[in-house]
Chains A and B, each alone.
Chain A
Amino acid sequence: MDLTGAFGARSAAVGACREPPGLESLHLGGGDGGFTALLELPPTQAVELLHFTDPSPSSSQAAVAGVGLDVSPPPPPLHAYGALTFPSNAALMERAARFSVMANEQQNGNVSGETTTTSSVPSNSDRVKTEPGETDSSQRLENNRCGIGKRKELDKKVKGSTKKKSKSSEENEKLPYVHVRARRGQATDSHSLAERARREKINARMKLLQELVPGCDKGTDIDGKIKIKVCVCVWGPLISGKRNIVSNTLVWKHGCDTPPPPRQIQGTALVLDEIINHVQSLQRQVEMLSMRLAAVNPRVDFNLDTLLASENGSLMDGSFNGTAMQLAWPHQVTETEQSFHHRQLQLQQPPQPQQWPYDGLIQPAWGREDDQGHGNEHNSLMAVSENLMVGSASLHPNQVKMEL
């Protein structure tokens, strides 16, 4: 029976449909030509094709998506678009009812909506078409349907101000990654829609950046001042005094795990300025620290124990585990190299994690270094790095190879 056969395929696809977490990408598999073909069919035939007889992956996926997403509760009882078909065909309705009932049995629990839809099946076509505007979770099936119902949708009156017309399905096909809704009353030509898609992408990323940059979502000066006080206590006079407010709040924010509650966006320009300031301050910090390093390095006669102790205190925080350690790394480090590239190429050797005691690690490294006759500073730096190796979590070999 075609019902059970199709059903088997669909229930298999349900699991796959649940997985993709972001609804930004549409998996309209091979349905490039399918929808435009569907558009030319009369609605009933198209629906029939969609739900039952069409073995193409897109429609089955879409139908299943409609069913599968119904289980996760959207507030209005839209369910099984498979069930809410065009009510003009009685046979189809019966099949749809059967389909939804079987969907009930197949999936767990909260498909009460399915039964209600079977009872409320003879809904007017208006309701059928407005409901796509309400839920975001039924996007995929809606794409299938809007190709069919687009003509009717454009004509009818939209109920409520929150309803949104959906973008044409053909356009969704061309951009398989982005699904954009056209707002009510706005133009639906491809240019403005693409522009809107671009804007939304940019706004999403801007929000992400806002979370990164501290002080971006803060409005008042008072907050900034409080943060400065906190960070001064935390970090003290470690870094030289030429720091602006942004960098101070940066320090504070990175020291604390719970971010402050976000506020309204101040405006694109301000946010971007803040981001730019942040990047500039970070780069300035790098430069300052490199100056300090340059000043510190050559003239210090290293005492190994103190160095290791200090490195232990500062670098071995919670992120370090005393687990694996690559032995191949010390081999490569002590070799003399010509340039950065040569050096990094040598890292291609797969590191072999082994557990070595701390003392045992230092000795062979020193032995090797003495053979090569390096300077004292080199030794101490090597010791520092050995120290890191002992404490650090294992470097993934993939990562080491990947960067080349």
Chain B
Amino acid sequence: MASAYNPIYTDVPEKDVFALHFLQTLSNLRTQNSFSSPDNKTSDRVKKIKKAAYVSMARAAGGTNRLWSRSLLHQAAKRNNKNVRFLRRKRRVTWLMRRRSNRGDPIEDVAAERLRNLVPGGGGMETSKLMEETAHYIKCLSMQVKVMQCLVDGLSPK
């Protein structure tokens, strides 16, 4: 690791943290009755597992400290119970839109728009902040992929 101080803080926890969270959410899934019944459609189960993966990743990566994890958790919460407080993000987005239309590199903006669609919670962010979030998101995603890969390898029949 570099000894120099990185002003852009993008550390992610170790792999075991991610593994822990993912297993927790998976076990939580198992306790739900609808999950283990065999007549359940595979796609539903896949969706649930995927959602569990993302939520656990968001938790492991630092909870609500990061914008993308916060929005992920909010999305998940919204689906679970409908009483989620609606985030007033619309106002910020319109301000940003106006600002972006005034100036800005067209090349960069197009790509930034695509990135915004990919990274959760990217709608209300400035481009520089978006890049920070993307860097952290990429690190966490790769960690999560490693964990899931290990799990699949461990659980698959020999």
Contacts and interface: CB of A to CB of B under 8 A. Distances in A.
A230 B114 CA distance: 31
Interface size class of A (residues with CB under 8 A): 35 or more
Nearest to A301: B157
A88 B68 CA distance: 58
A296 B26 CA distance: 13
A268 B131 CA distance: 13
B50 to A, nearest CB: 4
A205 to B, nearest CB: 4
B152 A403 contact: no
20 contacts: A21-B5, A205-B131, A268-B105, A280-B118, A282-B142, A289-B152, A290-B53, A296-B156, A300-B155, A319-B14, A319-B16, A320-B16, A333-B27, A337-B31, A343-B28, A377-B36, A381-B26, A381-B27, A388-B20, A399-B62
A276 B114 contact: yes
Given A290-B49, A296-B156, A341-B77, A388 B119 contact: no
Contact of B25 (A209, A269, A296, A340): A340
A195 interface: yes
Contact of A319 (B15, B131, B154): B15
B67 interface: no
B155 A293 contact: yes
Contacts of B142: 250, 254, 282
A378 B38 contact: no
Nearest to B21: A403
Interface of B: 4-8, 10, 13-17, 19-20, 23-28, 30-31, 36, 38, 42, 45-46, 49-50, 53-55, 59-60, 62-65, 76-77, 80-81, 103, 105, 107-108, 111-112, 114-115, 118-119, 127-128, 131-132, 134-135, 137-139, 141-142, 144-146, 148-158
B7 A306 contact: no
Nearest 4 CB-CB pairings of A with B: A403-B63, A272-B111, A21-B5, A205-B131
B107 A399 contact: no
Interface string A328-364: 0000010011011101100000000000000000000
A182 B135 CA distance: 28
A320 B15 CA distance: 9
A311 interface: yes
B144 A307 contact: no
A378 B63 contact: no
Contacts, number: 206
Interface in A363-404: 374-375, 377-378, 381-382, 384-385, 388-389, 391-393, 395, 399, 402-404
Contacts of A76: none
B19 A403 contact: no
B14 A393 contact: yes
B154 A311 contact: yes
A205 B135 contact: yes
Nearest to A25: B7
A295 B45 CA distance: 9
B91 to A, nearest CB: 21
A72 to B, nearest CB: 15
Contact of A202 (B26, B127, B155, B156): B127
Contacts of A282: 138, 141-142, 145
B132 to A, nearest CB: 6
Interface in A183-231: 195, 198, 201-202, 204-206, 208-209, 212-213
Contacts of A391: 16
A136 interface: no
A23 B130 CA distance: 23
A381 B20 contact: no
A175 interface: no
Contacts of A37: none
A384 B111 contact: no
Nearest to B80: A339
A294 interface: yes
A339 B153 CA distance: 28
A273 interface: yes
B69 to A, nearest CB: 9
A337 B112 CA distance: 40
Interface in A275-296: 275-276, 278-280, 282-283, 285-287, 289-296
